[in-house]
Amino acid sequence: MGSITLQKVSKVFGEAKVIPSIDLDIKDGEFVVFVGPSGCGKSTLLRLIAGLEDVSGGKIVIDGKDATEKAPSERGLAMVFQSYALYPHMSVRNNIAFPLKMAGMDKAEIDRKVNDAARVLNLGDYLDRKPRQLSGGQRQRVAIGRAIVRQPSAFLFDEPLSNLDAALRVNMRIEISELHQQLKTTMIYVTHDQVEAMTMADKIVVLNRGNIEQVGSPLELYRSPRNLFVAGFIGSPRMNFINGQNAAQLNAHTIGIRPEHVLLSTESGDWKGKVTVAEHLGSDTFLHADVDGIGMVTARSNGDFASRAGDTVYLTPDKTRIHKFNESGLAI
Ligand SMILES: Nc1ncnc2c1ncn2[C@@H]1O[C@H](COP(=O)(O)OP(=O)(O)OP(=O)(O)O)[C@@H](O)[C@H]1O
Ligand SMILES: [Mg+2]
């Protein structure tokens, strides 16, 4: 079991109201990702759930029981941080076994659990090594192993992959998703990485200044952002926002169109612009163009689209993919 409910949870540090009031329901077995700009309160919210910080107000319910006043060790949750915090002098086996030894579990049981965790995480060959003899990805797996053996009702991850290089991140991202499918344990995962959020989450929670802007599946947020903030935050490169006459024609204060929904042509189209920067990624080309009467617009094309700074291009937004927002920034 691992359902978590936050009811009017708030947190104040001195004068600063970091989390004004949050209500959130996390179902048993869900993979929930918290995203938002730096300083918006993601880690604080995770630490409140873990019990590493006391709430200033509200209630935290875990598996139907009020856990607001419970110590971290009594909440049945396991937290994995960006820095793995392994004991350097202990073998991998002893690092993973540590929480079980502390809990006074008998040796045969500990061995069984450590071996199970090592199998799930492909750490079997490394059990006798010290952390310094492991790669970053292997170390992070050991830290996850130490969390797994406790059989928590939920895992809390705070940017666990941000110290890894790009290739390892991709591997670990897939491994954590597989781990979730295997264990079916609730996971709450904080990340800055768009791709991690979109690919791993059942449900994304977009935070801004300690408030929830929107909760939904990755594609719900991508297709139907509720406001300008979510529209600009989900999706990379970010959505183009256009004000003025073009928006007024569609009875909106602002219209938004994602770069992948703007058709590029060297010959003809709705808007004429001059390329200021062309980014050729191989698989895709991103063009930043200064469009007459509109301003800067980013458009995505396939990797074969040959264009350079200074070229004239024509852009045509896909009318069916235009987002409209009112004066208050709410989607209409
Ligand atoms: N112990 C503390 N005392 C005072 N202020 C704090 C404390 N911990 C966090 N804050 C403040 O609370 C706000 C939220 O911090 P938090 O670490 O939760 O942000 P975050 O979303 O995790 O950011 P990042 O993406 O950079 O990790 C920040 O303004 C931070 O300075
Ligand atoms: Mg943080």
pLDDT in tens, 99-132: 899 989 999 999 999 999 998 888 999 999 999 9
Ligand nearest to the CA of 34: 1
- Cα of 103 vs centre of ligand 2, distance in Å, is 29
Q: Whose CA is nearest to atom 29 of ligand 1?
A: 39
Tell me the pLDDT tens digit for each residue of 277-302: 999 999 999 999 999 999 999 999 99
Query: Does residue 42 line the site of ligand 1, with CB under 6 A?
Result: yes
Ranges in the chain annotated CATH 3.40.50.300:
4-231
pLDDT at site 167: 81
State residue 218's pLDDT score: 97
Look at ligand 1, atom 5, and give the residue with the nearest C-alpha: 13
Q: pTM of the predicted model, to two decimals?
A: 0.93
Residue 111: how many CB atoms within 10 A of its CB?
A: 13
What integer best gives the mean pLDDT of the chain? 94
Query: What dotted CATH number matches 241-325?
Result: 2.40.50.140
| 248-264 pLDDT, tens digit each | 999 999 999 999 999 99
Which CATH number applies to 4-231?
A: 3.40.50.300
Per-residue pLDDT of 131-188, as tens digits, reads 999 988 889 889 999 998 988 999 999 998 887 788 878 888 998 999 999 999 999 9
Could you tell me where in the chain the CATH 2.40.50.140 domains are found?
241-325
Cβ-contact 284, 264 below 8 angstroms: no
Give the nearest ligand 1 atom to 16 CA: 5
Residue 162 beta carbon below 6 angstroms from any ligand 1 atom: no
Give the pLDDT band of residue 208 (cuts 50, 70, 90): very high
**What is the pLDDT, as a whole number, of residue 75?**
94
Residue 190 Cα: closest atom of ligand 1: 22
pLDDT one-digit tens code per residue, 15-72: 999 999 999 999 999 999 999 999 999 999 999 999 999 999 999 999 999 999 999 9
Name the closest-CA residue to atom 18, ligand 1. 41
